[in-house]
Structure 1
């Protein structure tokens, strides 16, 4: 079995250079890299940050002006007899956004590009909030009603914007499903390995991956995942409604405690981040482009703004206006990067383990041990070290598990663009569970499929290249919907507002008119 896993890992050896090529293009050509200033910016960076700047300006920096509105929408109680509430959609999208990348990605970015990478995460996230708003509004405009649920997102608005071509929706659906399935092994691996690590912290004894404990945990995880996945999106949202607040509160609380215990290092943190953003320390390779790309790349892997992969949650929400969910999804990017990723950055940068005598050993560690070692440096006392390590590992476990069920659920929504038959939906669920089991089996075999992690990077950038052009195709619809939203004149949102057919909203407006007529009688 071990030979099989190793062979599969080796098959994907080609992924890392291919992923790096797309992320770095065209900076990997000497003629372009030699251009002053511009030569530091890859196409991916220009697309993501440039699009965020454009959508910010055209929407009047709606991520700032309507931030409070988004909070009020989340607090609003709403019947979700059809679809799910805005809050449930927010938690569902946060289950995907707030994942292992919030720890592994940030730690890896700082280890590779230095503390300055965190600054570029902030920049990309600020403008990415407008991009997330744009894609969420499109998901709402072109969502479809399927019995008592809404389905929408990248495959749905992509199909409409590309001339209602069936192949477009099918291709985008398959692209997301393949991307999600490639990410599932790592998430299954993360959940099982983190549970094992928590058990070792509690017992103080080392547990081999072939022990009965790991086998029992693995079987239970597969059964629980199957139970949730076969419950459909409503069951998934009930799970994420409960887990997302718990993991966010615990993580924020623990890291805030570490910050309070190390207040003297806070000035160092800000000096290192802002200084490193433009003058990276030589230990990290020392070029501006490395820091910039690491910040944007890992920021995207965390908050997924511009990627289109969170849009399925936005399209599933029951709202009064498409722009409402846009405001909500914008807040999701803020929570993910400005809050969760920043807290991870505080731990890694304030500990600055790379500058001490143990620097060589720290760089040799994997990303999660790097993070936990940094937390240990900030924690006074052996007993407290164990408690902090347990809680942070527990959060990491929940981050991975919510990503796991979210990816299976979003794959199901994407599959609805191909066919809504039960056979197709059940097939997607079964394949997702099977691939998760494969990742768990890798953990039992003690093999970390590092090359499969690289598929996430490749999938991220390919979906960005597919999604961003669609956002420009639908931009006029978003800008008109935004203008209508800001007017607050009481008129319902319909096809006439944007000049394109959106059947659900016309049907909704018609029903509202009928109710008013009946009440008048």
Structure 2
């Protein structure tokens, strides 16, 4: 039964990414890049400036805070393990396609986050909330499709992504001697004990306790991200003689079409796009949930900020992992992928300390990802219910999510990655056509923003300025 289910999910994943999503992601990215005049490059300095914009209300969420929420969700185990897997399966060329999907994805992220701001809803306390479900209902007048998207997001983040984060963390322990030592019958005790411990820790935090733990990780994760990039730079500097060869292989392998079409499921294109999408989430419809919470004077401000988050995630942190692995000369393959591949690469430069650092990074990234994922889910649960759920109903959901964390630690490599890819793909299949349909609204908002900037004004948005017919909670 398990093997049959695993094979089925793997087949669905291959079909989705071989035909549908590769075409849709690239087409949407190119379309938005052209329609916005390459906003991801043209307005990159403006995006950096927008990060420092203060919120209007005293206790409101600022652009920077919304950026941190979405970046915390994006930056996770996929930045380490996902990149290593893409290289191990797809080869050097996967890195190029990961870069390309991030570059094009910047424009996609801009459009979806701008739409989330335009159609955001006002809470009783004056704060804002929203996301794809809300702009689907407001602009397309389809609550049913909004509910379908909300269900897909919950399944993806509480199920697929949380199980994957748990698996990746436990898999990082497989390189240590104790991993294969402790067996009880046919079972390895490490996934059981490790999965249970992680599930209990997450449960302690999301069931009302653990505020101090959450606050500590909020400080440690950015520090770990900076330290991670610095160590990657050290690895590159110590192996500088390999860097030209590595870059050459990345670009030549990316266009080795004989290898690509000889086995497309494991090709550089598919692996690069899969892992790029999983890491930066541009077009998936997750980041708009965080973008809608920001208190800004113009929706485009937050669209630009969320565009920046894609670059931080992929062009900085994912590239750090890729260079860390490739510059050390370690040869990846079927027997060496995921966390062990990164750990072995680090051990070449930093000795026994390297693998421990990767494990610590994965622990922090996985933990904050697990908590951040549930933030997105709770908003969608309230959307489905049409009201704020009771504490009891929310606790039932949280218990189910905690169980998923434990289950994920027990699964195998192929199934856990394919499940995450398929569920994420379903979200993208709904969100991408919707934001293409609504693109005119986001583009009109961009034109309004740039027109005000040219006049030397601080852009302030009014729905009437772009002829928006739908009534909004904030911009009328």
TM class, shorter-length? 0.7 to 0.9
> What's the CA shift for 1:290?
2.5
The answer to whether 1:322 aligns with 2:295 is: no
Q: Out of 91, 96, 102, which is 1:125 matched to?
A: 102
Q: 1:49 to 1:214 in 2, by over 3 A?
A: closer
Matched, 1:385 2:351: yes
State which of 182, 187, 193 in structure 2 corresponds to 1:208: 182
Deviation string 1:156-184 (CA, Å, 9 cap, x unpaired) is 11112222x32222221111112222222
* Distance in 2, Cα, partners of 1:349 & 1:91: 29
Contact 1:191–1:400 under 8 Å retained in 2: yes
Counting only pairs closer than 5 Å after superposition, residues 199-238 of structure 1 correspond to structure 2 as 208=182, 221-230=198-207
Note the C-alpha offset of 1:365.
Answer: 2.9
> What whole-Å deviation, never above 9, does each CA across 1:372-404 have from its counterpart, x for those lacking one?
222333x1xxxx312222112211222212221
Q: Whole-Å Cα distance in 2 between the matches of residues 172 and 372 of structure 1?
A: 37
Give 1:160's aligned residue: 138
Decide whether aligned partners of structure 1 residues 174 and 327 sit closer, same or farther in structure 2, where only a CA change above 3 A counts: same
Q: Could you list the per-position Cα deviations for residues 179-218 of structure 1 after superposition, in whole angstroms to 9, with x for gaps in the alignment?
A: 2222222223444565x579x69xx997738899988866
- Under a length normalisation based on structure 1, what TM-score does the superposition of the two structures give? 0.80
Match of 2:249 in 1: 272
1:462 partnered with 2:462: no
Output the CA distance in 1 between the equivalents of 2:274 and 2:179. 37
Tell me: CA distance 1:348–1:193, structure 2 relative to 1, closer, same or farther (3 Å): closer
| Structure 2 partner of 1:500 | 469
Q: Offset of 1:496 from its aligned partner? A: 0.7
1:410, distance to aligned residue in structure 2 (A): 0.2
**Change beyond 3 A, Cα 1:168–1:237:** farther
Distance across 2 between alignment mates of 1:121 and 1:447 = 26
Q: After TM superposition, give the deviation of residue 64 of structure 1 in Å.
A: 1.5
- Name stretches of at least 5 consecutive residues in structure 1 with no aligned partner: 1-6, 26-42, 508-521
Shift of 1:370: 1.8
User: Which position in structure 2 is the counterpart of 1:33?
Assistant: none
Residues 229 and 409 in structure 1, CA contact (< 8 A), matched pair in contact too: no
Report the alpha carbon displacement of residue 13 of structure 1 after superposing the two structures with TM.
3.6
1:24 corresponds in structure 2 to 18
Per the TM alignment, residue 101 of structure 1 is displaced from its structure 2 partner at its CA by 1.4
Distance 2:391 2:182 in 1: 37
* Aligned match for 2:335, one of 364, 377, 392: 364
- Taking the aligned partners of 2:54 and 2:388, their CA distance within structure 1 comes to 32
Q: Give the distance between the partners of 2:395 and 2:152, measured in 1 at CA.
A: 16
Give, in whole Å, the separation in 2 of the partners of 1:82 and 1:144. 17
Deviations 1:65-115 (A, max 9, x none): 221222222234446655422112111111221121112221122122211
> Which of residues 398, 422, 429 is equivalent to 2:364?
398
For 1:123 and 1:224, locate their aligned partners in 2 and report how far apart those are by CA, in whole Å: 37
CA contact (8 A) 2:13 2:422 kept: yes
What's the counterpart of residue 85 of structure 2? 108
For residue 58 of structure 1, what is the aligned residue in structure 2? 35
Decide whether the 8 Å contact of 1:52 with 1:130 is kept in 2: yes
2:346 equivalent in structure 1: 375
1:248–1:442: structure 2 CA closer, same or farther, 3 Å change rule?
A: closer
Q: 1:353-385: per-residue Cα shift (whole Å, max 9, x none)?
A: 33xxxx6xx5313421122222333x1xxxx31
Q: Which residue of the other structure, out of 170, 182, 187, is the alignment partner of 2:159?
A: 182
Per-residue deviation, residues 244-265 of structure 1 (Å, max 9, x unmatched): 4123112112211211111111
Q: 1:136 aligns with which of 106, 110, 113?
A: 113
Structure 2 residue matching 1:307: 3-state secondary structure: coil
**Counterpart in the other structure of 1:478:** 442
Q: Which residues of structure 2 form unaligned runs of 5+?
A: none
Corresponding position: 1:434 with 2:400:
yes
Structure exhibiting the larger radius of gyration computed from Cα positions: 1
TM-score of the two chains, using structure 2 as the length reference: 0.87
Could you tell me whether the CA contact under 8 Å between 2:235 and 2:328 is conserved in 1? no
